[in-house]
Amino acid sequence: MKKTNLVVRSYQEQDEKQVIDLWHCCGLVVPWNDPKKDIWLKLQVQPELFVVGLIGTQVVATVMAGYEGHRGWLNYLAVAPDYQRQGIGQYMVEQASTKLKAMNCPKINLLIRTSNTNVIKFYEHLGFKIDDVISLGKRL
């Protein structure tokens, strides 16, 4: 990847349409999550941990990180299909990891559907390991 072509910066309001289109293109939008609401909620808490990667004026990558004082989290890592397998996803994870590390975050967690084997392999390649835990959830 030519990192000189990729500019990573904090999300800005004018990015919304491109970000949501990218998330749809990458299959990250599910019926029970409203991407506009997810963006709005993220902007209320640690907005500096929501970054986009641009080539020119096109948003080609995103990652939304968070830290609640115990563990860091990654959400909405997306790379446009035409730019995948060029190191951009890894670079975006590194950018989020650097920000979390600066906050003294000791560990990053993320959730991946078990059926998404390609994404699991991607994160394993980056050094993530499957934790021996069960993830429970409850919609409010």
pLDDT, one tens digit per residue, over 10-19 is: 999 999 999 9
pLDDT value of residue 113: 86
Evaluate the CA torsion angle 111, 48, 35, 93 in order and state its sign: negative
Q: Which residues pair with 67 in a beta bridge?
A: 72
Quote the CA–CA distance of 100 and 91 in Å, as a whole number. Answer: 14
pLDDT value of residue 33: 86
Average pLDDT, the chain: 94
Count Cβ atoms below 10 Å from residue 15 Cβ, excluding itself.
18
Q: Which amino acid type is present at position 89?
A: G
pLDDT at 1 over 70: no
Residue 4 confidence class, pLDDT cut points 50, 70, 90: low
Mean pLDDT (whole number) for 51-63 = 97
Question: What structural domains and CATH numbers belong to the chain?
Answer: 6-125 (3.40.630.30)
Mean pLDDT (whole number) for 68-83 = 96
Count Cβ atoms below 10 Å from residue 73 Cβ, excluding itself.
18
pLDDT value of residue 119: 92
Q: Which two tokens stand for residue 60?
A: 């080609």
The more confident residue out of 116 and 98 is 98
Quote the CA–CA distance of 117 and 120 in Å, as a whole number. Answer: 5
Residue 140 confidence class, pLDDT cut points 50, 70, 90: confident
The more confident residue out of 89 and 1 is 89
pLDDT at 108 over 90: yes
Quote the CA–CA distance of 36 and 70 in Å, as a whole number. Answer: 27
Tokens 């019926």 correspond to: 31
CA R_g for the chain? 15
